[in-house]
């Protein structure tokens, strides 16, 4: 919206559009320049902003923690090592609290999920216009900086968790055990179709709720930031009020992003714990 | 807001990150935490042990002190006894020595007396003879009375 005048709805739509790379209608591969173009690309397209930001943030997390892990010593910890150890201890406590089995995967999984999602959510606190404007200045039509406000990212992670749940269910209970858990609960042998129906919903609900909860919260949060940002165009009084509102919402959002990351992590641990439980 | 292949990419990224974290991030941090925990526990245990040993040491020190006091008392008593004994012995020896010296002095004196008497006796005899000689020179011939004089001399 640097040069052309935009209506409010166009402004909002612009902010909510991902930078999509895919098959253009004219037959070539490229970046979609409008929402309709992006939609027309179908499934085999990729949101460059979502995947790019999430990979950068994930690498940031891994490199920082790897750096801390490399420079570890048993003396008095300082600086980032202190923080990393605190985070690891916090996650370890959470895992011990919710996960009854023993697994080398769950705790690092929880750490990754928590910090990664937290960093993704943190992008929400960047003022909503900065990154899109910067991108526009660089000739990039769209740039949505919050990966967790893109359902692709949240569903991608939820599917990852879901696959782990399936893997550990089969591994711990055996294919037969897992199948019988789906087929013979809660109504016994006679209620087989109903059992499959209910347990199937129960199973599918896990990744769906996981993904939608995070997505919904982040999307709504971003939407409110965008709406507040709209007020900046409505005269000096509205702008000051909008600034105050944005500050208040940002402070509140600090809580939300941490909480959402924590909920995602805790539910991941709980779901994996359920997958590890052999008696239903 | 379309669901597209980002989903797959995100899942793959997710697994790679989790794998990396599980392989290279979590274990070293956890190890160092456990190591530090052990270090601290060891330190605390060592502190406890040190305190305990200090307690024991102070107890044994006071015990030793008590023993030393007792022993020094014993030694002092023995020394006193010994001193008294030595004094007694010294007194005894001194007395014996004094008696001996006294006896020998007495003997000496007696001897001296005897010798003096002997000398005196011979002198008295000579004097008597000289006196008698002077008296008798005039009237008596000493040669004629020599046997008489010898008899007197023997009587003394």
Query: Which A positions 99-118 lie with beta carbon below 8 A of chain B?
Result: 104-105, 107-109, 111-113, 116
B 19-78 near A (Cβ less than 8 A): 20-22, 24-26, 28-33, 35-36, 39
Average pLDDT across chain A, whole number: 85
More confident residue, B17 or A134: B17
Q: CA nearest A159 in B: which residue?
A: B11
> Residue B37's closest chain A neighbor by CA?
A74
Q: Poorest-confidence range of A4-8, A47-51, B36-40, B91-95? A: A4-8
Residue A17 pLDDT exceeds 70: yes
Q: Can you give the three-state secondary structure of A110-169, one letter per residue?
A: HHHHHHHHHHHHHHHHCCCCHHHHHHHHCCCCCCCCCHHHCHHHHHHHHHHHHHHHHHHH
Give the domain extent around A125: 2-276
- pLDDT score, position A20: 83
Q: Quote the mean pLDDT of chain B.
A: 88
- pLDDT score for B45: 95
pTM: 0.72
Q: Which residues of A touch B20 (CB under 8 A)?
A: 62, 66
pLDDT of residue A112: 92
Contact in structure between A118 and A257 (CB atoms under 8 Å): yes
CB contacts, 8 Å: B34 with chain A: none
User: How do the domains of chain B map onto residue ranges?
Assistant: 3-115
A121, A257 Cβ separation under 8 angstroms: yes
> Which chain B residues are within 8 Å of A109, Cβ to Cβ?
18, 21-22
Q: Hey, is the C-beta of A94 within 8 angstroms of any chain B C-beta?
A: no
Query: What total of structural domains would you count in chain A?
Result: 1
Q: According to the model, what pLDDT value does residue B60 have?
A: 95
Longest dimension (CA), chain A: 70
pLDDT at A195 over 90: no
Query: What SS3 state is found at A30?
Result: strand
Interchain CB contact of A84 with B (< 8 Å) = yes
Span of A6-10, A189-193, A199-203 with lowest mean pLDDT: A6-10
Q: Is the pLDDT of residue B61 over 90?
A: yes
């Amino acid at each position: 919206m640097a040069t052309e005048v935009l209506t409010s709805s166009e402004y909002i739509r612009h902010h909510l559009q991902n930078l999509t790379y895919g098959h253009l209608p004219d037959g070539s591969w490229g970046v979609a320049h409008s929402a309709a173009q992006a939609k027309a690309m179908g499934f085999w397209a990729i949101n460059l902003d979502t995947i790019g930001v999430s990979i950068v943030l994930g690498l940031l997390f891994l490199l920082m923690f790897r750096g801390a892990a490399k420079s570890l010593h048993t003396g008095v910890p300082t600086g980032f090592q202190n923080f990393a150890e605190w985070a690891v201890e916090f996650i370890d406590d959470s895992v011990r609290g919710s996960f009854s089995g023993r697994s080398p995967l769950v705790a690092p999984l929880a750490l990754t999920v928590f910090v990664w999602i937290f960093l993704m959510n943190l992008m929400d606190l960047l003022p909503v216009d900065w990154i899109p404007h910067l991108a526009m200045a660089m000739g990039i039509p769209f740039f949505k900086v919050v990966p967790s406000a893109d359902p692709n990212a949240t569903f991608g992670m939820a599917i990852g968790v879901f696959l782990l749940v399936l893997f550990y269910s089969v591994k711990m209970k055996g294919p037969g055990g897992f199948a019988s858990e789906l087929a013979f609960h809660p109504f016994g042998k006679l209620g087989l179709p109903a059992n499959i129906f209910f347990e199937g919903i129960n199973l599918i609900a896990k990744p769906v709720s996981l993904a939608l909860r995070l997505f919904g919260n982040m999307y709504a949060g971003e939407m409110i930031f965008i709406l507040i940002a709209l007020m900046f165009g409505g005269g000096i009084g509205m702008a000051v009020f909008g600034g105050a509102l944005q500050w208040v919402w940002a402070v509140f959002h600090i809580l939300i992003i941490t909480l959402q990351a924590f909920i995602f992590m805790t539910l991941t641990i709980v779901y994996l714990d359920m997958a590890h439980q052999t008696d239903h | 807001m379309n669901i597209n292949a980002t989903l797959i990419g995100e899942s793959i990224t997710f697994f790679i990150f989790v794998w990396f974290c599980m392989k290279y991030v979590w274990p070293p941090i956890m190890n160092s935490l456990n190591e530090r925990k052990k270090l601290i526990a060891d330190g605390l245990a060592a502190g406890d042990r040190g305190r305990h040993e200090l307690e024991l040491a102070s107890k044994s020190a006071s015990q030793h002190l008590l023993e030393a006091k007792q022993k020094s008392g014993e030694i002092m008593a023995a020394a006193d006894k010994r001193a008294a004994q030595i004094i007694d012995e010294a007194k005894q020896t001194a007395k014996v020595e004094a008696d001996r010296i006294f006896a020998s002095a007495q003997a000496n004196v007696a001897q001296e007396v005897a010798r003096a008497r002997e000398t005196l006796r011979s002198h008295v005899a000579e004097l008597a003879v000289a006196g008698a000689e002077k008296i008798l020179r005039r009237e008596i011939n000493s040669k004629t009375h020599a046997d008489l004089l010898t008899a007197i001399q023997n009587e003394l």
